[in-house]
């Protein structure tokens, strides 16, 4: 158990629509992914997580599913998935599918049936309730959806309300119904039987709601954070993180544990970090949970030290933290770092050497930045539902919070080369989302082979991590700031008789310090030209991060 592969892996997230278009419709597809797998094998990641490619009306780019056991035609079909799984496995990598258990599309035949009449056998597959006032004209209670605003929607023909935790076209399944549980666990088995190695579970802390439909409490909080989803003066006690949901994590775990090969679950749990951890049920629930505090963490020595130590403390063996700096919902990390490649290299060094499972987001390895897209040209359903919001509000949020509400901006096509389509699709084809006006060398072709590039830095760290047990399975002890100087963060990791020291200079000044591992061997550095780190005094360049293996 302690050495399960998933504890030691590095996960790379592919957004299928944006990775590579193999058939000229401007939309990425599964054959396109197969064609590009060597890039990932060379990069050195161990596991690929695919955002959903199931049948879907694509109103939330696949997070609105209308058949969990088929594939959207623009991506391929089941036979293509089988080939994809085989091709990934043939390269020694693993496959993680995205599973949206909380809700379906409102086009799913289950929901179409469910809303057709109050006594339809599928009625109770979703969360329906009478309205409060006579004539049912007020929602059943005060529950807000995760994205703000009441999550209740009135259905006139049957005179009841249905609940959505996310967008109005994503009705929540009713997990109090054993049929729903059985069906969804069966869906996991369907894919496990096809050979997938794990699942990423979408908003999995939202599965159950209060059985008595009691109001959510008042909360002194307007704007949510990555640690605390309470907002618009409302808590989420009755709609998120219910004891029933936590207990169900163990059911899910039993399903994956019933298969050979250490399959695993990673959950998206938007909650305070202790609550996210609680979904691991002391090692009997989710294997991993995403930790989102890192997304916006400053790239400063004190912040890095604090986060590394907190994650380590809250996720002691057999738990293990995750390191997430970006995904398909959030502003790209490098854009929060001013687009700067040197900072991005140091950030990679941090992510790939701390104790925990790193999650990379496609394009991060070449420094892809946010592509600003005006709200009126957006396809993201979160933006479409707020079309009355003037553009300057989006701009203000971007500059005040460093965050983009328009998720299209982090979902643009993968930048393979410097051609007009960035090598994502054939020349002359229009990609489904626009590319940046200037790729600025942030492409695979531009960076491959150049030791100063971000791409080669990722490669070096990923390979070093793979080859050195201390880096992929070691325990972690922070070095004292008195030892490293306050500008440098350091930690020591040990496993299988090997000890390495990680040193990160998280400032724009060079820094000299007493080498904590004198006479040691350089394992890897963000500086692709550095050859040793044995001297008693070490000089770290601005934003340099390196790993030294101790002598003996």
Q: Which residues are catalytic?
A: 202, 268
CB of 15 to ligand GLC, least distance (A): 10
Dihedral angle over CA of 107, 112, 115, 119, nearest 10: -160
Question: Residue 100 or 297: which CB sits closer to ligand GLC?
Answer: 100
Among 166, 199, 208, 458, binds ligand GLC (CB under 6 A): 166
Q: How many residues line the site for Ca ion (CB under 5 A)? A: 5
For position 150 contacting Ca ion by CB under 5 A, the verdict is: no
Whether the CB-CB separation of 520 and 533 falls below 8 Å is answered with yes
Out of Ca ion, ligand GLC, none, what residue 29 binds, judged by CB under 5 to 8 A for its kind, is: Ca ion
Task: Convert residues 189-218 into a mask of x (bound to ligand GLC by CB under 6 A) and - (unbound).
Answer: -------------xx---------------
DSSP codes of every residue in 98-166? EE--SB--TTSHHHHHHTT-TTSTTGGGB-EE--SSGGG-S-SS-PBPTTSSB-EEEETTTTEEEE-SS
Out of Ca ion, ligand GLC, none, what residue 100 binds, judged by CB under 5 to 8 A for its kind, is: ligand GLC
Which tokens hold the place of 271? 């909650």
For position 161 contacting ligand GLC by CB under 6 A, the verdict is: no
The helix-helix angle for 243-257 and 178-193 (nearest 10°) equals 30
> Which residue's Cβ has the minimum distance to ligand GLC?
63
Whether the CB-CB separation of 195 and 81 falls below 8 Å is answered with no
Beta bridge partners of 50: 14, 97
At which residue do the structure tokens 């899910």 appear? 252
Q: Compute how many other C-beta atoms are within 10 angstroms of the C-beta atom of residue 187.
A: 17
Among 63, 143, 152, 543, binds ligand GLC (CB under 6 A): 63
Q: Compute how many other C-beta atoms are within 10 angstroms of the C-beta atom of residue 142.
A: 15
CB of 52 to ligand GLC, least distance (A): 9
For position 25 contacting Ca ion by CB under 5 A, the verdict is: yes
For position 21 contacting Ca ion by CB under 5 A, the verdict is: yes
Question: Residue 238 or 330: which CB sits closer to ligand GLC?
Answer: 330
76-84 long-range CB contacts below 8 Å, 24 or more apart? 76/29, 76/30, 76/31, 80/30, 80/31, 80/34, 81/30, 81/53, 81/194, 82/194, 82/195, 83/30, 83/34, 84/30, 84/33, 84/34
For position 328 contacting ligand GLC by CB under 6 A, the verdict is: yes
Question: Residue 27 or 405: which CB sits closer to Ca ion?
Answer: 27
Out of Ca ion, ligand GLC, none, what residue 202 binds, judged by CB under 5 to 8 A for its kind, is: ligand GLC
Question: Residue 60 or 544: which CB sits closer to ligand GLC?
Answer: 60
* Secondary structure of residue 70 in the 3-state scheme: strand
Among 42, 329, 340, 475, binds ligand GLC (CB under 6 A): 329
Q: Compute how many other C-beta atoms are within 10 angstroms of the C-beta atom of residue 482.
A: 7
For position 27 contacting Ca ion by CB under 5 A, the verdict is: yes
Whether the CB-CB separation of 382 and 147 falls below 8 Å is answered with yes
Among 5, 8, 23, 154, binds Ca ion (CB under 5 A): 23
Note the residues at the interface with ligand GLC (CB under 6 A). Answer: 60, 63, 100, 166, 202-203, 268, 328-329
Note the residues at the interface with Ca ion (CB under 5 A). Answer: 21, 23, 25, 27, 29
């Amino acid at each position: 158990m302690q050495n399960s592969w998933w504890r030691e892996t590095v996960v790379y997230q592919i957004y299928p629509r944006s990775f590579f278009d193999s058939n000229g419709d401007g939309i990425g597809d599964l054959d396109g992914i197969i064609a590009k797998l060597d890039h990932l094998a060379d990069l050195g990641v161990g596991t690929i997580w695919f955002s959903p490619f199931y049948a879907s009306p694509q109103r939330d780019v696949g997070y609105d599913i209308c058949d969990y056991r088929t594939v959207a035609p623009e991506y391929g079909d089941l036979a293509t998935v089988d080939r994809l799984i085989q091709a990934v496995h043939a390269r020694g990598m693993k496959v993680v599918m995205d599973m949206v258990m909380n809700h379906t599309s409102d086009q799913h035949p289950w929901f179409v049936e469910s809303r057709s009449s109050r006594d339809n056998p599928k009625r109770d597959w979703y969360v329906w309730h009478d309205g409060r006032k006579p004539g049912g004209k007020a929602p059943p209670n005060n529950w807000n959806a995760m994205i703000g605003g009441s999550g209740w929607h009135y259905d006139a023909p049957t005179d009841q309300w249905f609940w959505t935790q996310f967008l109005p076209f994503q009705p929540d399944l009713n997990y109090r119904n054993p049929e729903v549980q059985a069906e969804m666990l069966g869906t996991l088995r369907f894919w496990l039987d096809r050979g997938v190695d794990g699942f990423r579970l979408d908003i999995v802390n939202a599965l159950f709601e209060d059985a008595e439909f009691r109001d959510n409490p008042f909360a002194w909080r307007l704007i949510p954070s990555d640690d605390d989803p309470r907002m618009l003066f409302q808590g989420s006690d009755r709609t998120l993180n219910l004891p029933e949901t936590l207990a169900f994590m163990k059911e899910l775990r039993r399903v994956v544990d019933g298969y050979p090969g250490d399959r695993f679950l990673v959950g998206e749990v938007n909650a305070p970090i202790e609550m996210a951890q609680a979904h691991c049920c002391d090692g009997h629930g989710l294997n991993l949970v995403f930790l989102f505090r890192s997304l916006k963490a400053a790239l400063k020595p004190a912040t890095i030290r604090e986060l590394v130590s907190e994650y380590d403390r809250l996720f002691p063996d057999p738990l293990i933290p995750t390191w997430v700096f970006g995904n398909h919902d959030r502003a790209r990390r490098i854009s929060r770092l001013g687009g700067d490649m040197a900072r991005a290299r140091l950030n990679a060094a941090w992510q790939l050497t701390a104790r925990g499972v790193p999650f990379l987001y496609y394009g991060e390895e070449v420094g892809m930045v946010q592509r600003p897209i005006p709200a009126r040209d957006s396809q993201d359903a979160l933006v479409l539902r707020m079309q009355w919001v003037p553009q300057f509000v989006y701009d203000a949020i971007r500059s005040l919070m460093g965050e983009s509400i328009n998720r299209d901006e982090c979902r643009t096509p993968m930048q393979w080369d410097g051609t007009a389509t960035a090598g994502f699709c054939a020349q002359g084809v229009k990609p489904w989302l626009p590319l940046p006006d200037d790729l600025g060398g942030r492409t695979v072709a531009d960076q491959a082979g150049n030791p100063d590039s971000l791409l080669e830095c990722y490669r070096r760290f990923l390979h070093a991590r793979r080859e050195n047990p201390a880096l992929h399975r070691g325990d972690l002890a922070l070095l004292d700031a008195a030892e490293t100087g306050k500008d440098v963060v350091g930690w020591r990791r040990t496993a299988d008789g090997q000890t390495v020291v990680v040193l990160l200079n998280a400032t724009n000044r060079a820094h000299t310090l007493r080498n904590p591992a004198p006479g040691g061997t350089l394992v890897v550095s963000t500086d692709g030209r550095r050859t040793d780190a044995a001297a008693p005094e070490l000089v770290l360049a601005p934003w340099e991060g390196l790993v030294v293996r101790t002598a003996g």
